[in-house]
A = this chain, B = another copy of it.
């Protein structure tokens, strides 16, 4: 249980590549959004679970660091760590790696909130989802805090000389 979750595996699609010849910034986030879907599948919020419970997740806030270019056709995988949890929010950290390697391509932190779709309004996790998230969060507590968690954008100070 102490390992990161693999939440998405696949290849960089043709339609994700821009005029610079590499994956457009927004499609990194689409891939991470699919990884969040992968996490939801693992905790009982796949399409059937969303339908049965009337619950889903919305994104409140996201932060993304672009570390390396990614070209069309590259095989990548997303490894996911739960950084925090309260009654209705979960702080999720995704790392995108070249498949089968420890080469980190991009990092994305997402604050997700549980939603009752009948509102829509925020609502505590169902007991089943909460228990699964709590088990993951407890297992991930032993992992190092990732380098790109909790970042804010700031203009670096000019270098002297």
Contact = CB atoms under 8 A, between A and B. Distances in A.
Secondary structure type dominating chain A contacts: mixed
Number of copies: 2
A153 interface: yes
B65 A153 contact: no
B91 A58 contact: no
A96 B161 CA distance: 40
Interface string A85-115: 1110101000000000000000001110001
Given A20-B56, A152-B151, A155-B91, A62 B61 contact: no
Given A156-B89, A158-B86, A25 B109 contact: no
A30 B26 contact: yes
Interface in A26-45: 26-27, 29-30, 32-33
The 7 closest A-B pairs by CB, nearest first: A26-B30, A84-B155, A25-B59, A26-B29, A152-B152, A26-B33, A29-B29
